[in-house]
Homo-oligomer: A and B are copies of this chain.
Amino acid sequence: MESSRPTAILLIACPDRPGIVSEVSHFLYENSGNIVDVDQHVDPGENQFFMRLEWEVAGFGISREDIAQAFAPLAEKFEMDWKLHFSDVKPKVAIFVTRDNHCIYDLLSRQESGELPMEVPLIISNREDLKPAADRFGIPFHLFPITKETKQAQEKKEIDLLNDHGVETVVLARYMQILSSQMVDAFPNRIINIHHSFLPAFPGAKPYHSAWKRGVKIIGATSHYVTEDLDEGPIIAQGVTQVSHRDSVKDFIRKGRDLEQTVLSRGVWLHLKRRTLVHANRTVVFG
């Protein structure tokens, strides 16, 4: 579906100074980089510079193994926080679920169609409900029941399992457990959650019930990176839809499912396409 020609993707964040764009574009130009996409952003309040560069690997003057080393001096000069990715390397993604099936089916159908460039080596759940969904797609399903007492130990096992599989990113597809700090720390800015409200409205449990009680006329969903503070992480994508007094809580839940799966998949797509940068608990999304 996407171009089959592999690209290199460079994500840069650094203090804003004159000359960054000039020198970075010169680096690519002198190495005959065929630029596919470039986007940049300056946050004047934070005096922070952000950039995303994508160029074709083929024809570039530096072999893919040597790009990082060649770029390092420039990165050092401008004190860059930077990462280099290649579009033909599909990251391994673990999906966590509990009971609701819509987000996982949406993710897996997009993976199958090629829209989401990822491998899904395993699905983890605290309940058995969605084992059939995992089975349908032939993906190993690992059950980790969680209680207050077992949470730390179970999460520890989960982290080991994720590491064993070389998992880079975790997607919480309506996973109804709060992660402890050990899990969050193990995957910094690499755990994506879907919250079923328009954050920061209605954080926590049962947002649709709260929204109905408040009498809102629009409901929403939010995909975000998971941080220590529940529902406080950097927002990647949000979506909304209209509701009215005719809609019951059940209708809110039904309409919300459309948002949840779309907004989560969009967040995951942006992450996998290396289009997100996090700074000061906010995202720059090169969408």
Contact = CB atoms under 8 A, between A and B. Distances in A.
B115 A254 contact: yes
A63 interface: no
A71 interface: no
Given A100-B113, A257-B115, A287 B244 contact: yes
Contacts of A22: 22, 25-26, 28-29
Max chain B C-beta neighbours (<10 A), residue from A113, A217, A282 = A217
Question: How many copies of this chain sit in the oligomeric assembly?
Answer: 4
A130 to B, nearest CB: 10
A101 interface: yes
A283 interface: yes
Contact of A21 (B21, B102, B245): B21
A73 interface: no
Contacts of A201: 198-201
B199 A216 contact: yes
Interface stretch (A82-90, A143-151, A175-183, A233-241): A233-241
A105 interface: yes
A272 interface: no
Nearest to A265: B258
Contacts of A80: none
B215 A235 contact: yes
A217 B245 contact: no
Contact of A282 (B110, B215, B234, B281): B215
Max chain B C-beta neighbours (<10 A), residue from A137, A258, A284 = A258
Given A25-B22, A42-B35, A214 B242 contact: no
B21 A246 contact: no
B244 A285 contact: yes
Interface string A8-19: 000000000011
Nearest to A220: B218
Contacts of A41: 245-246
Q: Which 4 interchain pairs have the tightest Cβ spacing?
A: A215-B282, A105-B109, A201-B201, A22-B25
